[in-house]
Structure 1
C-alpha cells in the first residue's frame, strides 16, 4: 500500500473569501459595498482580486456592514500574510536553530 502524499492547500487571500462567501451569496456588488462603507470601488476591487490587503480601517468597516468582528477580517489577513512569508522564508527558516537555554 502506498503512503499518502501530503498536499499543501492553496493560500487563500481574504479578498477571495469576501467575494465568494459574502458578496456573491448575499447578492451584493463591489460597487454597493464600496458605497455602503464609504470607500472607493477600486479599493474593494483590489481586495477582491487579492491585490490589496485588508487594513484595520477596512476590517472595521466590513465588521460594521456584515455584522462580523474586525478581528475576523484581520485574522484572515494575518493568516494569509503569515503563510506567504513562511513560503518566502522557508529556506532561511530551515537554517535557524532554536535557542536552547543553558542550565545554570
Structure 2
C-alpha cells in the first residue's frame, strides 16, 4: 500500500485538506498531492515534517515508504533476483577457499 493512502486517511480523520497540510508543513502543495495520488514517495525530509505535524515518528513514515518500495521491487524483479543471485553459504565459502589454495 502506497504511503499516500495512509496519509489520505490521516487527512480525512482530521478533516484536513492537502493544501492546508502543505501550508502547515511548509512544502509545495504539489508534493502532498503527488504523495496522495501515489505519484511520489515520502522522502526523509517529508517524513520529518509529517512526523512533526501528526505527532508520529519520521521512522513511521519512512517505514511505510520502504515497505512499499520493497513490495514493488519484489513484484517487478523478485523472481529475476532469485534466479540470478547465488546464495552465500558455508558450502560456497568452502569451495572458494579450496579453489584459491
Instruction: Please name the residue that 2:39 is paired with.
Output: 51
Residue 90 of structure 2 is aligned with which of 86, 89, 101?
A: 101
Residue 13 of structure 2 is aligned with which of 8, 25, 41?
A: 25
Instruction: Please name the residue that 1:36 is paired with.
Output: 24
Secondary structure at the aligned position of 2:20 is classed as: helix
Displacement of 1:59 in angstroms is 0.2
Secondary structure at the aligned position of 1:88 is classed as: helix
RMSD (Å), alpha carbons:
1.3
TM-score (norm 1): 0.83
Which structure shows the bigger proportion of residues in helix conformation?
2
TM-score (norm 2): 0.85
**Unaligned stretches of 5+ residues in structure 1:** 1-11
Instruction: Please name the residue that 2:66 is paired with.
Output: 78
In terms of Rg, which structure is larger? 2
Q: Deviations 1:77-101 (Å, cap 9, x if unpaired)?
A: 0000011011111221231342222
